[in-house]
């Protein structure tokens, strides 16, 4: 609507959008959408359609405000990585299931690895913690079962080493 029949504006606009998309730092889809909305508003101002830009900016701001206030598309639980070291004589299948049921909404065993010349196992789980859960109590409960060996509960990394077999 803003470009009309001007082919030069259309080509330059395509170049600007491509440049911004591929030169910007990788982020979430929400970040990229924000950049595109800002570019569209700036384009409208630059072409002299200030009223359209003002209307567009206010409309998008109201939509964002409503989405944020209603909590639309907000993660309810955070995905975390849990690494538990256990002795070789402990059967890991089903050992922690009751604890996962109590403290998490879901859990998945991603990797089993032997360490310390085969005398220990390192279990790597992906867990979704329940809201308002006491993580210290969760870790203490696991420590009682694994003989007080190492336990690591942390944010799931984008380069998840658990997915590398």
May I ask the CATH architecture of the domain 79-156?
Answer: 2-Layer Sandwich (3.30)
pLDDT of residue 142: 93
pLDDT of residue 159: 58
pLDDT of residue 42: 83
CA dist., res. 54 & res. 98, Å (int): 56
The residue ranges of every structural domain in the chain are: 7-70, 79-156
CA dist., res. 76 & res. 68, Å (int): 14
Question: Residue 83 in contact with residue 150, Cβ under 8 Å?
Answer: yes
Query: What pTM did the predictor assign?
Result: 0.55
pLDDT of residue 165: 42
| Helix ranges, 5-159 (H) | 7-23, 29-46, 50-70, 97-103, 135-145
pLDDT of residue 125: 94
pLDDT of residue 111: 93
Q: Which residues of the chain have pLDDT under 70?
A: 1-2, 21-27, 75-77, 157-165
pLDDT of residue 96: 92
pLDDT of residue 26: 64
pLDDT of residue 37: 84
């Amino acid at each position: 609507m803003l470009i009309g029949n001007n082919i030069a504006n259309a080509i330059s606009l395509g170049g600007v959008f491509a440049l911004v998309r591929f030169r910007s730092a990788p982020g979430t889809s929400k970040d990229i959408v924000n950049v595109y909305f800002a570019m569209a508003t700036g384009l409208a101002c630059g072409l002299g359609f200030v009223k359209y830009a003002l209307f567009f900016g206010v409309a998008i701001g109201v939509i964002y405000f409503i989405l944020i206030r209603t909590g639309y598309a907000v993660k309810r639980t955070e995905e975390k990585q849990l690494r538990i070291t256990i002795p070789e004589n402990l059967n890991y299948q089903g050992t922690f299931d009751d604890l996962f049921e109590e403290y998490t909404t879901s859990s998945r065993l991603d990797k089993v690895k032997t360490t310390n010349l085969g005398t220990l196992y390192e279990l790597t789980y992906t867990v979704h913690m329940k809201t308002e859960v006491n993580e210290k109590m969760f870790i203490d409960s696991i420590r009682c079962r694994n003989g007080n060996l190492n336990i690591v509960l942390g944010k799931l990394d984008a380069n998840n080493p658990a997915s590398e077999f």
